[in-house]
Structure 1
Amino acid sequence: MPSSNPLPPKENALFKRILRCYEQKQYKNGLKFAKQILSNSKFTEHGETLAMKGLTLNCLGRKEEAYEYVRRGLRNDLRSHVCWHVYGLLQRSDKKYDEAIKCYRNALKWEKDNIQILRDLSLLQIQMRDLEGYRDTRYQLLMLRPTQRASWIGYAMSFHLLGDYKSALNILETFLDQQQKGNNYDYEHSELLLYQNMVIHESGDLQRALLHLEKWEDQILDKLTLKEILGELNLNLKQYEKATKYYEELMRRNPEKTTYYYKLIESRELIKLEDIVQFYLVLGDLYPKSNPPKRLPLNYAIGEQFRTLVDNYLRQGLRKGVPPLFVDLRSVYTDKSKVETVEQLLLQYTDALKSIGKFSESEVKNGPKEPASALLWVYYFLAQHYDYLNQTEKALMYIDAALEHTPTLIELFVTKGRIYKHAGDPYEACKWLDEAQALDTADRYINSKCAKYMLRANKLKEAEEICSKFTREGVSAMENLNEMQCMWFQTECALAYQRLGKYGESLKKCHEVDRHFSEIIEDQFDFHTYCMRKMTLCSYVRLLRLEDILRGHPFYFKAARCAIEVYLHLFDEPVKDENTEQELNIENLAPSELKKLRNKQRKARRKAEQESAQAAQAQVKRDQYHKAKQQGDVEADTPHLDELIPEKLAKAEDPLEQAIKFLQPLQNLAQNRIETHLMAFEIYFKKEKVLLMLQSLKRAHKLESSNPKLHSCLVRFHEFLSKNKASLDETISEVIESEKVVLFKNKDALQLNREYLDTYCNSLEAVLEGAKMLYYLNSKLQSTALGLVTNIDNKYQDVNIKTCKNVLKSLKNGDFGPCDTEIEQFMSSCQVLFPHAVDFRSPSSIVHCESNHIPPDPDNYSSN
């Protein structure tokens, strides 16, 4: 590379050796050569050498020194593209992509045709989705390297991602025309043709896409994908005979894939239910070992035909002992008549198997008896059946019968735990999962399931101990699970800590999940050059699109919702400094209370000592890591993230701003979930941002105008506007007035609430929000509001554990003012309805499950 400040031959040779050492990761040697140049009094301030020394130091983990040398080098030679490029590489290693892009652009001012800088710039632009800039950079690369395949593909892809399909196709066709003609087509050429077809398909020209595939069919090596696309295109173009031919071929290849059956029904234009059932029956004879032709007709068959088909299906599954048989059939439970049919058959099986060992008493002389395990699997199915129907006592009766029949089957213990979970007793559920785990300690699935149930019972230490059986030795299970990005565990931990009131710990887990998503987004950086080189272009485009919507994933939503709820709570009730309070109150404490306080302080000190020991251990590991970097064993390509300290997180100075950081990805990627907009309203209501409140309500109203939570938000917003009408800006008032008709229907808050209560008087969930607003608008109506939610005898259609827990939570949170008597009465009523649910019992009556292997820690239990 020509330098703006050239070195004499001897020093220039040393500089080239520095570059070679950097490329070969021989960092110590690189530093030696840099020292030789810089020790010469004439070149002590040579910019490019200083910059390369800084880059080498960065690779050894000495980041502060690295920045110092690179900036010094840049100051000494501002016109050097090498110095700017190195500074960009340094910024890129710290994930400061915007800053790195600026550095590369400055480098290109002094060396506009530098291939390496242009490539690095293009990678950052696609990473940051600067698609216009990416297109321009790829054009420059194409002009400089027109013979390279990646130059053409990258330029075409830039237009594709921008939605300019015509330009993308013109570039691809020009490139393919230049390719050498012949019969030796490889897999990469095949992938390029499939990518070209993808662009045509997305442009909307389906006929052209079909003709393109038929033309190049011989050169496409991925025959499965080829046939699937041909079938889809013919189906969309209503060429049903051709589509049928392709889907029949695909079905012969894989008769287990249900998608092919649905597509074949569509291509044969079958509409009547009896025709569809007959279609499956014919295929069932054609593929006797395949499951879909036996299972799928149950979705369409009705009456006696359904009874016959489900009878055969159930018998086959129960005879073989298929554990997920109920899960397989659960989708038909949306039809009440089908549920009744299944129940009648199962009860018939139970009686017949007990008396004659067969599925029907009419078959007493037909063939041999069923296996002894058949009765066990009938009990197992019935237990799940009644659990699904919320008939807990019957479910427990059948699962107990199954356990008496075979007390060593793990699935029975898991199901019994699940029944208790659905009945509202996480402690008993945890106990049965622990029993299941004890039967097979080498089963990772049961181990994970047991840990999850323990977390639901707020038993964090025990859950960590259980998980430690499958984590790396020498590292704490919690730390290793974080390294492995085990997000279900971290989310459940966050929710458990939230229930226990340990808000700092809860936020730590939420932030860890957020960091996992950031890491996944950053990990795509490695694929930008790899996919272009390997020509896996269709998969690459799908990867880019997946990364764009990654934070819409349920894992992120769950963690973000937890974090937002915690930050909202911390805004209302900030964490106080316990030591200050204790110093103020210590003089007034009785001796017994003082003793308790001292014990608590000792525990806190012990915990702090343990945490400091863990921090010291972590520091030792970091030191070892840096030492390894210095020896050149590890490449320093990731920035050091700030340590997540629960105490600091719980005492955030701006909890609402922190909540917004979790909210923004949901507003972009989870717009179809009303919870997103309701959470947004809560945040902006506390910040008193009128237009943002209005925006959240409009979005929520569009999704589900009758949502109970939305109703309470509307009433509170109405009241807020009434109280602050005079202080609002004229422009804002005009905007609000224009939206009032849709949101409030020109009614005041009392009218709005009264109408809502009258309209949804059969729903406890809706009445709860209406009653809360009744008290909110007029505290004198407390008894009326309480009467609406505490009297639940045959009054509402949705009286279940979830809605009753929400009512109890509102009563305890003071949404109806002080009402201790009503809380007790409500809990008593719920206890009659839900005898197993622990939320409606007094704390002293709750029996916590005890692990078979780990002594329980009472500090882990919630007081509720």
Structure 2
Amino acid sequence: MPSSNPLPSKESTLFRKLLKCYEMKQFKNGLKLAKQILSNPKYAEHGETLAMKGLTLNGLGRRDEAYKYVRLGLRNDLKSHVCWHVYGLLQRSDKKYDEAIKCYRNALKCEKDNLQILKDLSLLQVQMRDLEGYKETRHQLFKLRPSQHASWIGYAMSYHLLGDFETANNILESFRQSQALVETHDYRHSELLLYQNIILEESGNYERALSHLKKFENEIVDKLAVNEKLGELNILVGSKQEAVPIYESLIKRNPENVQYYEKYFEAKEMTTEKERLESFKKFRELYPYALCPRRLPLNNATGDEFRKLIDEYLRRGLRKGIPPLFVTIRALYSDTDKMKIVENLIIEYYENLKSSGHFSKNDCDNNKPIEPASVLLWTMLFLSQHYDYLRQTDKALEFINMAIDHTPTLIELFVTKGRIYKHAGDPIEACKCLDEAQSLDTADRYINSKCAKYMLRADCLKEAGDICSKFTREGVSAMENLNEMQCMWFQTECALAFQRMGKWGEALKKCHEVERHFAEITEDQFDFHTYCMRKMTLRSYVGLLRLEDILRQHPFYFKAARCAIEVYIRLFDKPLKSEEIIEEIDTENLPPSELKKLRNKQRKAKRKAELESEQAAQAAIKKEQHQKSKQQNQETDPEAPQLDELIPEKLERPEDPLEKAIEFLKPLQLLANKNIETHLLGFEVYLRKNKILLMIQCIKRAVKIDPDHPQLFSCFIKLAKCLQALPDDLSPNVKEVVEKARKDLIGSKCSPIQIINDGLQKHANKSIEHILEGAKGLYSLDEKKKDEAIKLITSFDISKLSLVEASKVHEALGSGAFGKSDEQLKTYKENCRRHFKYAQIFRDQNESNNLGNSVNVKDVVTKTADL
């Protein structure tokens, strides 16, 4: 590379070797070469050599020294494109992409046609989604190297990503025509043609896309993709008859693909129930072992036809012993008539199998062979799942217990029993059942994970970690290894468990770990920008870019973000005292009984701290050993930027909890804006920040999704209170927006008490959640109306409530939302206990369970340890 401060022949040769060593990742040899050049007094301040020395040090993980030498080199030679390029590479390795782009642009000012700098710049631009800049850079690369495939492809893709489909297609067409004769099975050429076809389809020119696909059909290797696309395009252009044989061949290839059947009916223009059922009958005859032709007609059939089909479907499933048989038909339960038919049939099966061994009396009268003994077992399992779905817990437990007595070694029975207890509100007994299930097959990773999840739901975190450790790497704690493997279901469940237990710092640590996983996934796409272009996996690459754009829509991120926001709101409302303040307790004025309790608590805390310090020391030793093993490859893999250590004690005492909450909230507002919880959480955050316009924005967005949501009722009350307290010196523009929102959302003269009365009147005896929010609002306006507010929720008929709804009322009474209400809470708990007799939340801690279903957490721990 030409230099603005050229070296003589000897040093120039050493510098080229230094560059080669860096490319080959021989960093120690590179340092020696840099030292040789810099040891010459004439070139001790040579900027490019200093910069390369810094880059080499960065490869060895010595980041601070790297920045020192690169900046020194840049100061000594500001006009060197090499120094600017090296500084950009250093910033890029530190994930500071915006800064790296600035460095590359400065390098291009010194040498505008440097290919390597342009390539590096284009990678950063597509990573940061600077698509206009990406187009300009790819155009420059195209002009400099028009003979390279990547130049054409990258240039076309830049227009595709910007939505200029016509130009993108023209570039690809020119590139295709410029190519020599193509081999018969050229995968790269095949992918190029399919990518070009996607561009034509996305442009909306379906006729042109169809003719293009037909023209080059023989040159495309992926025949499945061709047939699927031919079927779709024929339907889109109106040539539905041509699509029929295509989908018939696709169904023949894979009779279990639901989408093929839907497209087939669309192509045949079958809309009536009779036509579809006849067609499914034909497919059942053609593919007797396929499940789809038997399950899908159940969605369309009704009445006697449905009874006939479901009878055949259930008998076949029970004979084969399909554990998820109930799951496959659960969606049909949204239709009450269909649910009744299934219930009558399965009860009839059970009674006849028990008495005669046949499914029906007709089978018995016609002397058909007796069904296998296992059929009765699967029928009992199905009945238990059926009654569990209807939340008839006693019947569900009756049938599952009979099934376990029949075959006590079937794992699915214990899993189902655990699920029944979970739905009934007893996570401890559910945990015990799953523990027993996994003990029957300790090599089954699914059951192992399911057991760990139930333990986390029962707040048994240590035991869940022990269960997971059976499948994690030895020598590393299960929690640490699961974090390395980005096992986010485990981490989100841990965060929620810590939140329930009031361990706010631990909960936030898990939430931040999940957030870091998503950030890492976003960073990982960087490696694919060059790989996909080189391997010509263009369709997958575009799909990857679009997936990364909406990555934080994923439920894992939503769960973690919601948990973090709720915890930060809690820490804002009730900040934790610093550890020093906690220790400064006035023991002199405490009564003897309270002082004794305090001393016992302090002794327990001290013992716990000592135990935790021992465990932490052991964990630190293991972590150090693990880090040493990771550092063995350090010379070939530059160290990633050091992230701040997540310390629970620091996390639970943030300087500004609401700003931290907003960091999690913003991705949700951008990508999960169709979920009403996003806007409800946003309202709560901005309410505490006193941002009236942002509060109004959140409510407006929530109203568009579900104007009758219970928490939205609470938001209207809080908004009305805020509007009453607004200062008079607001700017005219803000006043105008506020008045319009007042008029549109709550009425121009509507007071908080009027909103409450109207809402309570509207939802009286209909929705306990609305009544609960109204009661909270009533108490917040006037604490003297405490009895009236509590009566509103406790007088609601408990038999009409679900367990979730009753738990929310119980939580509100116990959390102090209505002040001190111990008597009312006790009465409400007793009433709920009679109706939800299995629910753990309504039991006293020291209460012995007469049903024989309760188990102490310590029992679970002991059993787990014995396995």
Match of 1:352 in 2: 352
Note closer, same or farther for the CA distance 1:59–1:167 as it changes in structure 2 (3 Å cut).
same
Give the distance between the partners of 1:196 and 1:76, measured in 2 at CA. Answer: 49
Tell me if structure 2 keeps the 8 A contact 1:431–1:850.
no
Match of 2:166 in 1: 166
Letter in 2 for 1:758: Q
CA positional deviation for 1:72: 0.7
CA positional deviation for 1:569: 0.3
Match of 1:861 in 2: none
Match of 2:785 in 1: 781
CA positional deviation for 1:794: 6.4
Match of 2:54 in 1: 54
Alignment counterpart, residue 603 of structure 1, candidates 594, 599, 608: 608
Give the distance between the partners of 1:613 and 1:45, measured in 2 at CA. Answer: 48
Match of 1:574 in 2: 575
CA positional deviation for 1:24: 1.0
Tell me if structure 2 keeps the 8 A contact 1:417–1:432.
yes
Match of 2:663 in 1: 661
- Higher mean alpha-carbon deviation, 360-369 vs 558-567, is at 360-369
Matched, 1:79 2:86: no
Alignment counterpart, residue 764 of structure 1, candidates 761, 768, 774: 768
Match of 2:336 in 1: 336
Tell me if structure 1 keeps the 8 A contact 2:411–2:437.
yes
Match of 1:67 in 2: 67
Tell me if structure 1 keeps the 8 A contact 2:184–2:219.
no
Match of 2:555 in 1: 554
**1:394-543 pair list within 5 angstroms:** 394-543=395-544
Letter in 1 for 2:490: F
Letter in 2 for 1:654: D
Letter in 1 for 2:422: K
**1:273-292 pair list within 5 angstroms:** 273-292=273-292
CA positional deviation for 1:750: 2.2
Tell me if structure 2 keeps the 8 A contact 1:850–1:856.
no
Match of 1:719 in 2: 721
Give the distance between the partners of 2:435 and 2:805, measured in 1 at CA. Answer: 29
Matched, 1:643 2:645: yes
Give the distance between the partners of 1:624 and 1:359, measured in 2 at CA. Answer: 62
Q: Work out the number of aligned pairs and report it.
A: 853
- Higher mean alpha-carbon deviation, 598-607 vs 343-352, is at 598-607
Tell me if structure 2 keeps the 8 A contact 1:674–1:700.
yes
Alignment counterpart, residue 684 of structure 1, candidates 683, 686, 701: 686
Give the distance between the partners of 2:65 and 2:12, measured in 1 at CA. Answer: 24
**1:54-133 pair list within 5 angstroms:** 54-133=54-133
Letter in 2 for 1:33: L
Tell me if structure 2 keeps the 8 A contact 1:434–1:852.
no
Matched, 1:367 2:365: no
Tell me if structure 2 keeps the 8 A contact 1:87–1:100.
yes
- Secondary structure at 1:101 match in 2: helix
Letter in 2 for 1:332: L
Letter in 2 for 1:662: F
Match of 1:29 in 2: 29
CA positional deviation for 1:612: 4.7
CA positional deviation for 1:592: 2.9
Match of 1:792 in 2: 796
Note closer, same or farther for the CA distance 1:609–1:652 as it changes in structure 2 (3 Å cut).
farther
Structure 1 unaligned spans of 5+: 859-864
Give the distance between the partners of 1:573 and 1:850, measured in 2 at CA. Answer: 30
Tell me if structure 2 keeps the 8 A contact 1:74–1:83.
yes
Note closer, same or farther for the CA distance 1:524–1:249 as it changes in structure 2 (3 Å cut).
same
Give the distance between the partners of 1:75 and 1:228, measured in 2 at CA. Answer: 59
**1:811-850 pair list within 5 angstroms:** 811-845=813-847, 847-850=854-857
Match of 1:862 in 2: none
Tell me if structure 1 keeps the 8 A contact 2:778–2:789.
yes
CA positional deviation for 1:745: 3.1
Match of 2:316 in 1: 316
Give the distance between the partners of 1:663 and 1:834, measured in 2 at CA. Answer: 36
Give the distance between the partners of 1:335 and 1:495, measured in 2 at CA. Answer: 34
Give the distance between the partners of 1:711 and 1:777, measured in 2 at CA. Answer: 15
Give the distance between the partners of 1:756 and 1:117, measured in 2 at CA. Answer: 64
Structure 2 unaligned spans of 5+: 849-853
Match of 1:751 in 2: 754
Letter in 2 for 1:136: E
Give the distance between the partners of 1:317 and 1:584, measured in 2 at CA. Answer: 67
Note closer, same or farther for the CA distance 1:544–1:628 as it changes in structure 2 (3 Å cut).
closer
CA positional deviation for 1:725: 4.1
CA positional deviation for 1:731: 2.0
CA positional deviation for 1:18: 0.5
CA positional deviation for 1:620: 5.3
CA positional deviation for 1:788: 1.5
- Secondary structure at 1:843 match in 2: coil
Give the distance between the partners of 2:381 and 2:300, measured in 1 at CA. Answer: 26
CA positional deviation for 1:617: 4.6
The CA deviation string for residues 621-674 of structure 1, in whole angstroms up to 9 with x for no partner, is 445644652xx2x41152111111000100111110000000000000000000
CA positional deviation for 1:94: 0.6
The CA deviation string for residues 803-862 of structure 1, in whole angstroms up to 9 with x for no partner, is 11111111122222322211111111111110000111122227544577843899xxxx
The CA deviation string for residues 288-334 of structure 1, in whole angstroms up to 9 with x for no partner, is 11111111111111111111111111001101111010001101111
The CA deviation string for residues 208-238 of structure 1, in whole angstroms up to 9 with x for no partner, is 1111111111111111011111111111222
Give the distance between the partners of 1:150 and 1:686, measured in 2 at CA. Answer: 52
Alignment counterpart, residue 805 of structure 1, candidates 807, 818, 827: 807
- Secondary structure at 2:862 match in 1: coil
Tell me if structure 2 keeps the 8 A contact 1:718–1:749.
yes
TM-score (norm 2): 0.96
Tell me if structure 2 keeps the 8 A contact 1:270–1:276.
yes
- Secondary structure at 2:296 match in 1: helix
Tell me if structure 2 keeps the 8 A contact 1:437–1:446.
yes
Letter in 2 for 1:759: K
Letter in 1 for 2:676: I
CA positional deviation for 1:726: 2.2
Tell me if structure 2 keeps the 8 A contact 1:380–1:402.
yes
CA positional deviation for 1:792: 2.7
Percent pairwise identity: 58
Give the distance between the partners of 1:192 and 1:115, measured in 2 at CA. Answer: 24
Matched, 1:9 2:14: no
CA positional deviation for 1:607: 1.8
The CA deviation string for residues 726-778 of structure 1, in whole angstroms up to 9 with x for no partner, is 25333211111122222113333222222222222211122111222222233
The CA deviation string for residues 378-400 of structure 1, in whole angstroms up to 9 with x for no partner, is 00000000000010000000000
Matched, 1:384 2:385: yes
CA positional deviation for 1:611: 2.5
Letter in 2 for 1:724: L
Note closer, same or farther for the CA distance 1:438–1:856 as it changes in structure 2 (3 Å cut).
closer
Give the distance between the partners of 1:282 and 1:261, measured in 2 at CA. Answer: 12
- Higher mean alpha-carbon deviation, 358-367 vs 251-260, is at 358-367
**1:108-257 pair list within 5 angstroms:** 108-182=108-182, 184=184, 186-257=186-257
Tell me if structure 1 keeps the 8 A contact 2:686–2:692.
yes
- Secondary structure at 1:585 match in 2: coil
Letter in 1 for 2:862: P
Tell me if structure 2 keeps the 8 A contact 1:551–1:669.
yes
- Higher mean alpha-carbon deviation, 434-443 vs 599-608, is at 599-608
CA positional deviation for 1:110: 0.8
Note closer, same or farther for the CA distance 1:29–1:182 as it changes in structure 2 (3 Å cut).
closer
Give the distance between the partners of 1:497 and 1:92, measured in 2 at CA. Answer: 36
